[in-house]
Amino acid sequence: MSGPRPSADVTRVETAFGSFDVAADQILSFPAGMPGFEECRRFVVLSSRELEPFQCLQSVEGPTASFLVVDPRRAFPDYRCVLSEVDRARMGQPDEAGLVWLAIVTVQADQTMVNLRAPVVVNPTRMIGFQLMPSNSLYPLRFELTRLH
């Protein structure tokens, strides 16, 4: 991810998982922020070989909003979340096959939890993302990640 020369279009982002050079066209808009981090409206999804299969969802406006994320299907293979009409509308009526789903990982002393209740969904076509709060989801807020599928 490191370009040969930094330019005006590249931002260097420092994370707990290393430094990344982020091009302006990689930056996602989160118009509602994230619950608890409502002021953070611009995020980037960072990948590296060391992080695989995890990624880092990182705010580019401050160091506080940094989340380890994973495809929810790596935690729970049958995972399926249906977009509500409101979510479809604010994501721009996306082609659902092209959406990217990310579940937030919480690391504790001896447990790793994955939030399957409120997934982050990104529409790469519009470079826009939201953390969904489906009212009727049966998935747990804290699903223990015991193995990766």
Partner 1 sequence: MLVFTRRRNEAIIVADGIEIRVLRVSKDAVRLGVTAPADVPVHRQEIYDQIREENRRAASSPATLPAVLGQVARRSEEPA
Q: How does DSSP assign 30-72, residue by residue?
A: -TT-BTTBTT--EEEEE--TTTTT-EEEEESS-SS-EEEEE-H
CB of 111 to partner 1, least distance (A): 7
CB of 76 to partner 1, least distance (A): 14
Based on CB atoms, which residue is closest to partner 1, 7 or 93? 93
Could you tell me which of 111, 12, 107, 40 has the C-alpha nearest to residue 69?
107
* Per rule CB under 8 A, count of chain residues that contact partner 1: 41
CB of 118 to partner 1, least distance (A): 5
Interface characters, 37-66, with partner 1 (x: CB under 8 A): x------------xx--x---------xxx
Residue 66's Cα: distance from chain center in Å? Answer: 9
Provide the token pair at 9. 């279009």
Provide the token pair at 121. 């969904």
Contact between 94 and 117 under an 8 Å Cβ cutoff? The reply is no
Helix (H) or strand (E) holding 90: helix 85-90
Contact between 69 and 120 under an 8 Å Cβ cutoff? The reply is yes
Task: Among 90, 99, 100, 101, indicate the residue that binds partner 1 (CB under 8 A).
Answer: 90
111 binds partner 1 (CB under 8 A): yes
13 binds partner 1 (CB under 8 A): no
115 binds partner 1 (CB under 8 A): yes
Residues that bind partner 1 (CB under 8 A): 16-17, 32, 34-37, 50-51, 54, 64-68, 85-87, 89-90, 104-112, 115, 117-118, 131, 133, 135, 141-142, 145-148
